Structure 1
Amino acid sequence: MQRVRVSSTQAPVHKLGDSQMTLSPKFRVAATNSSLLDPLLELRLSLKGEPLIPGLPDDVALQCLLRLPVNDHSVFRLVCKRWYSLFGSKGQFFSRRKELGFHDPWLFVFAFHKCTGKIEWKVLDLTQFSWHTIPAMPCKDKVCPHGFGFVSIPHEGVLFVCGGVESDVDGSLDLVLKYEMYTNRWMVMKKMSTARSFFASGVIDGMIYVAGGNSSELFELNSAEVLDPNRGTWSPVANMGTNMATYDTAVLNGKLLMTEGWFWPFYVVPRGQVYDPITDNWENMATGLREGWTGSSVVILGHLFVVSEHERTKLKVYDAKTDSWDAVDGPPIPEQICKPFCVNSCDRMIYVVGQNLHIAVGHITRMFSRHTLERKSRFSVQWEVVEAPDTLSDLMPSRSQVLFA
């Protein structure tokens, strides 16, 4: 195991965007301060012959500047007026990166304060390993840090937050929020037709599916619906065969997997449902899959991996052919990563965020056995730890998403 120290004892957490907050009776709405940025300023300066970098064509210079780390933008913007225009707005910065096809991964962690329960987003630049903040979600002040549904469309740089629990009355919410990394802003979307908390959610072919969960009266639901992000409209899909809240969910082979999950002591066998959007049909989850799903899941290389909460936090992978689980070769999650933790992935990397937002990064390697005719896949993992700065020591993780920008 390798440990990576990415910050000093009091390393700062930077704002990913420059924002101001205004209050409305129900929502806090984030607004980007654009008064300092005249869209015509850069054009006028370029026509005057002021280059981005002396001696380089502007297109080459822009390729260089858009690779500079975000945490140093406050310094870069002081170089000249054109640099100020480029680095003065993170929305403009990321929009230019999108135009030129940059796709660097960023880990968005939804966290809450240990004592107050106050929620906030922290963002880790997975290239520079520096932490940043984004504007607060425009939701009610008193919400529980658990119970939301989170989905993302990584290569479009957007994530959605749905439902949740209003903490002062314990009622579920029908709220839907969208965050765009390229503008660094939240938007309030059309509400779900049914208020939900602790429900399944996932993206299949660009469509966002939600299912089950707890209603505003805290009864378990069997209904499901789908959001078309382009149109912003919700439509019903087939109901599940049972009323069920979810412990974990995943999208595998174009299907939405929803598990009720194990709870200690193991008195009750967990339930699980699988939705196929092609047939608009639900079916019971395979026995081995639901009984061995004892932790938080990610999908890597077309396989379902679970960070188990009961077997010394070892990593295991599901074999659909045998309806069984195989241990992944390698050590368990490093001891520095304490529960509760949340899990996400990018390419062949798995990110486990624990207390104080320390992160275990697992490098997944795929191997093929030479001793079987079926050439069954085996996997191994090696871990390294990315320690968070002390300024994040009071935070606990709830969920995480990876976006590219």
Structure 2
Amino acid sequence: MQRVRLSANQAPVHRLGDPQMTLSPRFRLAVIQSSLFSPSSSEMDASLSGEPLIPGLPDDVALNCLLRLPIQSHTACRAVCKRWHLLLGNKERFFSRRKEFGLKDPWLFVFAFHKCTGKIQWQVLDLTHFSWHTIPAMPCKDKVCPYGFRCVPREGTLFVCGGMVSDVDCPLDLVLKYEILKNRWTVMDNMITARSFFASGMIDGKLFVAGGTSANLFELDSAEVFDPVDGTWRGIASMGTNMASYDSTVLNGKLLVTEGWLWPFYVSPRGQVYDPVTDKWENMPVGLREGWTGSSVVVYGHLFVVAELVKMKLKVYYAGSDSWEAIDGPPLPEQICKPFSVSAHNHTIYVVGRNLSVALGQVSVINQDDAGDACGKKCRFSIRWRVVDAKESFSDLTPSSSQVLFG
């Protein structure tokens, strides 16, 4: 999505509660309440001494089986008996027991919105059973611009930051945290600066944000970092230039930020690279920023982009020559329509398109001996795609962001 650069000067940012916000009262934080039945530990222990979980199986074996049930089936399965109800009727208990058994499966969290009403929602694809389920709604009830948020995963936790109130183009300093283990949202300390359409990335367990837009789409040059351990934000070095972010990623411990103007360029796109060790920004190499024409992921330690041109072929960046090359294999399957969001884990790239059709791309290294690029030679890659078709009920949904988490 191309954005217009309006000014190189930072404008005042209106925060929630300012007098300027009185004409848009709909934004509010929802009260987070759990409606799940949570029996006491003693009741649970007494229950476990009753009938077997599954007749004919030891309880540890039966529990191992039940903990692998897809979330989609929990509502029906907990009606089987009291013990199943106690296990499957409380998500916090269910995931706690999974953790005890060392179970950890990948899920694709998709931040989507209804294309007609604009209502936002989270849909989750179980990448083991390929079934969908939902999580509790985020504790905000305003009409917001879904693309203004930034969503960043960290060890079974999802952080959602910033955003923009649609009616007044007012950026938000909101920070929300979703925990798989507890299946709930928590409102965290606000960012220092309200921002939307900004860069973000997780480096060494800390969340970095930079740039973006303030009120009236004026661009920012400020940056800050959040430490999830103590829950506080602090400022870091400014970018040195005011810019909003089209895309960003973390590569080799550095935060890469690009404007990502669509080809053909009317102006040369800007790009910045932040090193948290030195707390300094530097200009992005020309080839890197001018070839970054799509959504990025990091696989095998290399930066890949699902290009929005050339039939949406996947391409990879080579730092040694500051150049991009298309990888072997077919383009993105035609079922995946723009706008789409891209994420990755291990050697698989996930592309979620309109109506939440999902393409899974398995990336392989062709010249295995050079997989680590240790000899200075270019790694050659190929990709194979498979598609998880969209559900009919998702026909009006559009993805804004997607992330892989384990639970």
User: What is the TM-score when the length of structure 1 is the normalising length?
Assistant: 0.90
Q: Secondary structure at the match of 2:334?
A: coil
Query: Contact between 1:367 and 1:378, CA under 8 Å: does it hold in 2?
Result: yes
Q: Is 1:308 equivalent to 2:344 in the alignment?
A: no
Mapping 1:137-286, distance limit 5 Å = 137-153=138-154, 156-286=155-285
1:205 alignment partner AA? D
Q: Which runs of 5+ in 1 are unaligned?
A: 1-23
Q: Is 1:337 equivalent to 2:336 in the alignment?
A: yes
Shift of 1:397: 0.7
Aligned to 1:362: 361
Shift of 1:65: 1.3
Aligned to 2:392: 390
Query: Contact between 1:368 and 1:375, CA under 8 Å: does it hold in 2?
Result: no
Aligned to 1:353: 352
Q: Deviations over 1:125-153 (max 9, x none)?
A: 11111111111111242211111111111
Q: Which runs of 5+ in 2 are unaligned?
A: 1-25
Judge which range, 206-215 or 143-152, deviates more: 143-152
Aligned to 2:112: 111
In structure 2, distance between residues paired with 1:388 and 1:92: 31
Aligned to 1:127: 128
Q: Secondary structure at the match of 2:363?
A: strand
Aligned to 1:74: 75
Aligned to 1:377: 379
Shift of 1:53: 2.6
In structure 2, distance between residues paired with 1:71 and 1:369: 39
Q: Percent identical across equivalent pairs?
A: 65
Aligned to 1:12: none
Query: Contact between 2:118 and 2:143, CA under 8 Å: does it hold in 1?
Result: no
User: What is the TM-score when the length of structure 2 is the normalising length?
Assistant: 0.89
Query: Contact between 1:222 and 1:240, CA under 8 Å: does it hold in 2?
Result: yes
Q: Deviations over 1:40-83 (max 9, x none)?
A: 32201223x43323343332322121112222212221222111
Shift of 1:321: 1.2
Q: Secondary structure at the match of 2:405?
A: strand
Q: Deviations over 1:255-314 (max 9, x none)?
A: 000001023541111000000001111000011110100000001111110000022100
Query: Contact between 1:294 and 1:309, CA under 8 Å: does it hold in 2?
Result: yes
Q: Secondary structure at the match of 1:143?
A: coil
Query: Contact between 2:27 and 2:141, CA under 8 Å: does it hold in 1?
Result: no
Q: Secondary structure at the match of 1:377?
A: coil
User: How many corresponding residue pairs?
Assistant: 379
Q: Secondary structure at the match of 1:209?
A: strand
1:383 alignment partner AA? W
In structure 2, distance between residues paired with 1:30 and 1:350: 34
1:116 alignment partner AA? T
Note the aligned Cα RMSD (angstroms): 1.8
In structure 2, distance between residues paired with 1:142 and 1:70: 29
In structure 2, distance between residues paired with 1:230 and 1:99: 23
Shift of 1:181: 1.0
Shift of 1:25: 8.1
Mapping 1:75-114, distance limit 5 Å = 75-114=76-115
Judge which range, 332-341 or 256-265, deviates more: 256-265
2:35 to 10, 25, 33: 33
